Structure 1
Amino acid sequence: MSSRTTSARIEASIGQLLRRSTRAHLYDSMVAGLDGVDVTTYPVLSGVARWQPISATNLAVEIGIDRTATTRYASRLQQAGLVDRVPDPADARATLLRLTPAGEQVVETMRDRLVKHLDAATADWPDAQAQQFAESLERLVDTLSRR
């Protein structure tokens, strides 16, 4: 099999993974029954968890949602007690987003659910194949992130 064919298969799989319907299905399973978070606010909560403390403007760039929507979703998460706004030490006029202890618990629950979902999806894979896939995916992401 040529590398072009392999790359085309990877492209098709990444395209499917990034589809809104695929993401929504994953988000649904992660946020079900959790107070204050839903499929629309999930990317903001997850992004704050990864890059906190972070401004809404920078978070919008990282998660690919416009700043107005990011700010609106962050406000909903703040009202739910999952996110706080704290002063930006570099700019007294600005604020940064960070998780509250309740937000940290919700994120931990969501990540545990995703791990279980992935465990179930790969349950019938030989251990070596699952391990190789994880290593290959990490390498691909690392390579693409550096470009």
Structure 2
Amino acid sequence: MAAQRHYEELARQLDAIGAVRRDLARILPHECPAGSAAVLSLLGRYGEMRMSRLAELLAVDMSVTSRHVAHVADRGWIDRSPDPTDKRSRIVRLTPEGERQLAELSERATELLAQCLSDWSDDEIAQLNLLMSRLRSSFGDCRSASRFSHATEQTTRTPA
């Protein structure tokens, strides 16, 4: 197991990732804010899904998900249709226009990363991808209540 100081430094580095995320958000087209881009990205990655699943993947409340979905639907980037197994639910899916928008977002992000990391070798980029994938995998389902309640308990306990 790594030393405590390594975990502390990792926590600081992960906090700093916010600056990278903000730079990536700045390149989004005006008509496609970050929430909309996240909806398109998830639908591109996982395919059609129920609104409830989308809310879970976004890790936001259903009302926030509904606003994001309304925004992308108004632009014709997704279709919403009744779930055949439960008419109260909606299934959302990318439209061809949504796929084009997602491709543009991906191209913009790829160009920015290529510019900012131009002095990195292919091996370094591959290693970063591998390690980030492994980090994400180690966390599993990040929305697991038991994982976070246990961690919070450990950090918020007061000595007896």
Q: TM-score range by the shorter chain?
A: 0.7 to 0.9
Residue 94, structure 1, aligned to residue 94, structure 2:
no
* Coordinate RMSD, CA, aligned: 2.2
Q: Tell me the residue number matched to 2:151.
A: none
Give the structure-1-normalised TM-score: 0.81
Q: Structure 1 unaligned runs (5+)? A: none
> Residues of 2 paired with 1:38 and 1:143: CA distance?
29
Q: Tell me the residue number matched to 2:9.
A: 9
CA drift at 1:22: 4.8
Pick from 23, 42, 64: which aligns with 1:25? 23
Flag the 1:28–1:95 CA change in 2: closer, same or farther, 3 A. Answer: same
What is the number of residues matched between the two proteins? 141
Residue 37, structure 1, aligned to residue 32, structure 2:
yes
Flag the 1:144–1:111 CA change in 2: closer, same or farther, 3 A. Answer: same
Select the structure of larger CA radius of gyration.
2
CA drift at 1:24: 3.8
Q: Tell me the residue number matched to 1:54.
A: 49
Report the secondary structure of 2:91's partner residue.
Answer: strand
Q: Structure 2 unaligned runs (5+)? A: 143-160
Flag the 1:66–1:24 CA change in 2: closer, same or farther, 3 A. Answer: farther
CA drift at 1:138: 1.7
Report the secondary structure of 1:135's partner residue.
Answer: helix
Residue 141, structure 1, aligned to residue 139, structure 2:
no
The amino acid of 1:13's aligned partner reads Q
Equivalences for 1:46-125 in 2 at 5 Å?
Answer: 46-125=41-120
Give the structure-2-normalised TM-score: 0.75
